[in-house]
Structure 1
Amino acid sequence: MQTETAPAQTAPPRRQLTDVRGFWRVLLAVIAPLPMLAQGLYYLLLPWAADASFPQRVQDTTGHLNLVGSLQWIETPFLVGLIPATFAVAWVARRGAPRLATAGALLALLGDLAGFPLIPNNDRLTYLTATNSFDVDAMSALSGAEDNYLLGQLGGLLFIIGVTIGLLLLGLALWRSKAAPAWMGWALAIGGFTHPFVSGIVPGYVAQGLGLWVAAVGFAGASYALLRMRNDAFDLPPAPAG
């Protein structure tokens, strides 16, 4: 008596997943230097003195409405792109200098995430006061109250720590990882660490703007590494869960 064997069951073919590692790698490379380039230009074009009072800033803005209006857009890449740019440096340096990259990323990203929502944007308040004919004394009082608000001060402190210490560590991590030329890592370390202090050496915003452009060179080190990197070195390939 013969018995029939059941046909072997074959697993259905798995759908091929799209590999988007190249997209993310190139996107991060493009974004990395833009925030500091934009913010450096913003500082260089500001039409008022660094120590100008709020009423004086409104007066200077009134005489340069088109310029200050354009600066609101020029600053946007900094506000939107600094977090992914910071991530790009950390991602590039993490394998060659894991502890430095981790410490720098934690401080820098904490500063970004605390500073952007908590620090009052008095430059924008100045522009809105000038363009909407708001009462200058009332808006000046509002600006002062925001400056003295504890959460805003805490956000400012964390942001300064992120820019100085966080970017210093990330620059050292980029240098130590050898993922980019050494001078690019040092540019990031120096450009970030000196940012709050250069205005005391060179009055006005010029030194701060140029310092951020130095930091932008350091961020471009991440772009250099990402564009030379193979997708397999950037991340694992796509794979279904399970």
Structure 2
Amino acid sequence: MHTETHPNGATHDKPLRDTRGFWRLLLAMIAPLPMLAKAVYYLLSPVDGGAEFADTVTAYTADQQLASALRWFDAVFVVGLIPATIAVAWVARRGAPRLTTVGAVIALLGELTGFALLRGSDGLAYITMQQGFDVAATAKLADAIENDALQLVASLLFIVGIVIGLALLGIALWRSHVAPAWMGIGLALGAFTHPFVPGHLAQGIGLAAAAIGFAGASLALLRMRNDQFDLPPARLDS
């Protein structure tokens, strides 16, 4: 409670608004979306990851509506992955505190570094197709960007964050017993195997498994009472 003093000297307690339910439901809603969006991105992609720049431009030119739609799925992934990772860490932290801490630090460091510094060639391929830029010239630019030292470091950290960090969070979700074990295992396996399986279809399936793991965090959040989610609102008076 917060006590307000009126000019006449009278006081009364004004309750603080409790927004824990809002944050709990918001995280539950967000958690599975980024990995699900990225899974759809890979499943619908007309080319495999790591394809030659010119091949990607050609594929995008052949189906421009698909290429445009894929950008929105990728946007959901980029915007949503960090809060989704926080959601998993939040629900697993009490049941597996050390493992969750290590996993969250690795995952969030990689994600923040990747999203802030990486400049993917797929976006450049789309702009090249859309604007009719010279493919050979922009291919050289894409190659220069990918081989830049800062890009290489950011790419490595991002891969480590996804492969190691999210896998550890999946194991933490499993060990914390806040969601069914198979959901935590799905997150761990989907994140860990994604970069190593061949073809965009197999990679999309791996990310769909990871999305199921993130949905485990949603399930845990929906099952929680607000008092289990966080402390109630309180003003720390000096």
Q: Give the TM-score band, short-chain normalised.
A: over 0.9
Contact 2:47 2:200 in 1 (8 A): no
Give the 4+ runs in structure 1 shifted more than 4 A.
none
* Percent identical: 59
Shift of 1:52: 2.9
Give the whole-Å Cα distance in 1 for the aligned partners of 2:209 and 2:202. 10
Give the whole-Å Cα distance in 2 for the aligned partners of 1:23 and 1:49. 39
1:54 aligns with 53
1:160 aligns with 159
Q: How does 1:135-174 map to 2 (within 5 A)?
A: 135-174=134-173
Shift of 1:51: 4.9
Shift of 1:49: 3.7
1:4 aligns with none
Give the whole-Å Cα distance in 1 for the aligned partners of 2:105 and 2:122. 28
1:216 aligns with 211
Q: What is the letter of the counterpart of residue 59 of structure 1? A: T
Give CA deviations for 1:96-152 in whole Å, capped at 9, x if unaligned.
000000000000000100011212121111010001011111100100001101111
Q: What is the letter of the counterpart of residue 207 of structure 1? A: A
Give the whole-Å Cα distance in 1 for the aligned partners of 2:21 and 2:50. 46
Shift of 1:79: 0.3
Q: What is the letter of the counterpart of residue 229 of structure 1? A: M
Secondary structure of the structure 2 residue equivalent to 1:196: helix
Give the whole-Å Cα distance in 2 for the aligned partners of 1:206 and 1:185. 22
| Change over 3 Å in CA distance of 1:198–1:49 after alignment to 2 | closer
Q: How does 1:1-242 map to 2 (within 5 A)?
A: 12-199=11-198, 204-242=199-237
Q: Which runs of 5+ in 2 are unaligned?
A: 1-8
Count of residues in correspondence between the two structures? 230
Shift of 1:23: 0.3
Contact 2:92 2:178 in 1 (8 A): yes
Give CA deviations for 1:31-69 in whole Å, capped at 9, x if unaligned.
000000000000111112445311121111111111001
Secondary structure of the structure 2 residue equivalent to 1:96: coil
Secondary structure of the structure 2 residue equivalent to 1:194: helix
- Give 1 or 2 for the bigger CA radius of gyration: 1
TM-score by length of 2: 0.94
Give the whole-Å Cα distance in 2 for the aligned partners of 1:14 and 1:196. 56
Give the whole-Å Cα distance in 1 for the aligned partners of 2:194 and 2:216. 19
Q: Which runs of 5+ in 1 are unaligned?
A: 1-9
| Change over 3 Å in CA distance of 1:11–1:161 after alignment to 2 | farther
TM-score by length of 1: 0.92
Q: What is the letter of the counterpart of residue 58 of structure 1? A: V
